[in-house]
């Protein structure tokens, strides 16, 4: 089921899950009042900040090669921390995209 976004009077975005086509135009938040559906928040292509920073196992290297990977990122102009296990730690979606591109990787599921 899709996630729908609602913005309250203080500007906070609330995410709710409804069946496709059954999302109401506004929701009642109790003491916080009413929140109206926010189409702008729903159409953002960048993932929310939840989950960042992200340690990426899929683009990691052997632990003994971690210093070499840090140097590769630094030389490419995308300084990136690498965990002791050899996994890059991405700060946000934009940083992740640049770091992957610096190594010639493409994430076809990233939508960015």
Tell me the pLDDT tens digit for each residue of 91-100: 988 899 899 9
Shared-domain flag, residues 76 and 98: yes
How many domains, in total, are found in the chain?
A: 2
Residue 107 lies in a domain: no
φ, ψ for residue 64, nearest 5 deg: -70, -15
**Whole-Å CA distances, 12 to 5, 24, 38, 59, 109:** 10, 18, 10, 34, 28
Least confident of 23-32, 37-46, 66-75: 37-46
End-to-end CA distance of the chain: 22
Shared-domain flag, residues 61 and 84: yes
Shared-domain flag, residues 38 and 59: no
Average pLDDT, the chain: 88
The pLDDT value recorded for residue 21 is 87
Q: Is residue 7 predicted with pLDDT exceeding 70?
A: yes
pLDDT tens-digit map of 34-61: 999 998 888 765 555 567 899 999 899 9
């Amino acid at each position: 089921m899709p996630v729908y976004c609602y913005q309250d009077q203080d500007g906070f975005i609330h995410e709710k899950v409804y069946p496709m086509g059954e999302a109401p135009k506004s929701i009642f938040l109790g003491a916080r009042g009413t929140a109206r559906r926010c189409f702008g928040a729903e159409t953002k292509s960048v993932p929310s900040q939840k989950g960042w920073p992200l340690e990426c196992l899929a683009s990691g290297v052997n632990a003994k090669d971690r210093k070499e990977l840090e140097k590769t990122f630094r030389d490419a102009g995308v300084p990136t921390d690498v965990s002791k296990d050899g996994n890059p730690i991405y700060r946000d979606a934009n940083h992740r995209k640049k770091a992957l591109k610096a190594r010639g990787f493409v994430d076809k599921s990233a939508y960015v």
